[in-house]
């Protein structure tokens, strides 16, 4: 067995590597499905479906890709187009990242897995869980912004 085989085997066995995460595998499956659906389609159709799934207006996309509204509407009425748009929406949803409950579950699994072999790692995972709960209780998870105004800073053109 050569070095590359050993590295690949150890990568396949390490469940904490990002490439082995269920998230990465799901993204890969969705991308593969998109490629299967899009096989043989014109590039403008893929561009349209991707942008339309992202929430852009049909008319704006049609203008940008130099297609008539009727052509775009005709394409969008087909089953493959609808499926492609749905898969692109799913990909955007998945790529937006794991939800808070998923992140908490991962930290909980890390804490349990390392409880006996590496208690420090388990303690770190629990500390992160506690931080997440404290931030949520303080309102930090709501996207609040704190602004500090210092009188020591020079006034700019917008400070009137």
Mean pLDDT of 89-102: 80
pLDDT bin (cut points 50, 70, 90) of residue 93 is confident
Q: Per-residue pLDDT for 87 more than 90?
A: yes
Each as own residue / partner, the long-range contacts of residues 20-26 (CB below 8 Å, 24 or more positions apart, any chain) are: 23/94, 23/98, 26/94
User: What would the two tokens of residue 110 be?
Assistant: 């890390």
Q: What is the DSSP letter of 78?
A: S
Per-residue model confidence (pLDDT) at position 152: 72
Per-residue model confidence (pLDDT) at position 30: 92
Higher pLDDT among residues 6 and 153, named by residue: 153
Mean pLDDT of 64-93: 93
What angle, rounded to 10 degrees, do the helices at 79-95 and 43-53 form? Answer: 50
Sign of CA dihedral 51, 55, 60, 62: positive
Per-residue model confidence (pLDDT) at position 21: 75
Q: Per-residue pLDDT for 5 more than 60?
A: no
- Looking from the CA of 118 toward its CB, the CA atoms found within 13 Å total 9
Determine how many CB atoms are found less than 10 A away from the CB of residue 8.
11
| Average pLDDT score over the chain | 82
Per-residue model confidence (pLDDT) at position 1: 54
Vertex 48 angle, CA 44 and 50, to 5°: 120
Q: Per-residue pLDDT for 71 more than 80?
A: yes
120-135 residue pLDDT tens: 998 998 899 888 888 7
Please name the residue ranges forming H helices in the chain: 3-13, 22-38, 43-53, 58-64, 69-76, 79-95, 100-113, 119-138
CA 65 – CA 82 distance, rounded (Å): 19
pTM of the model: 0.55
pLDDT bin (cut points 50, 70, 90) of residue 88 is very high
8 Å CB contact between 69 and 58: yes
8 Å CB contact between 80 and 41: yes
């Amino acid at each position: 067995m050569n070095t590359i085989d050993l590295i690949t085997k150890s990568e396949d066995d390490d469940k904490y590597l990002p490439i082995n995460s269920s998230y990465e595998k799901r993204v890969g499956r969705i991308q593969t499905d998109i490629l299967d659906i899009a096989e043989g389609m014109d590039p403008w159709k893929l561009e349209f479906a991707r942008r339309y799934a992202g929430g852009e207006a049909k008319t704006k996309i049609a203008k940008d890709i130099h297609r008539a509204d009727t052509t775009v509407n005709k394409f969008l009425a087909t089953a493959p187009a609808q499926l492609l748009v749905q898969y692109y929406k799913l990909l955007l949803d998945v790529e937006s990242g794991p939800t808070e409950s998923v992140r908490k579950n991962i930290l909980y699994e890390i804490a349990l897995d390392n409880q006996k072999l590496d208690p420090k790692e388990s303690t770190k995972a629990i500390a992160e869980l506690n931080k997440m709960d404290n931030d949520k209780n303080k309102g930090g998870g709501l996207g609040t912004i704190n602004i500090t105004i210092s009188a020591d800073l020079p006034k700019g053109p917008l400070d009137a």
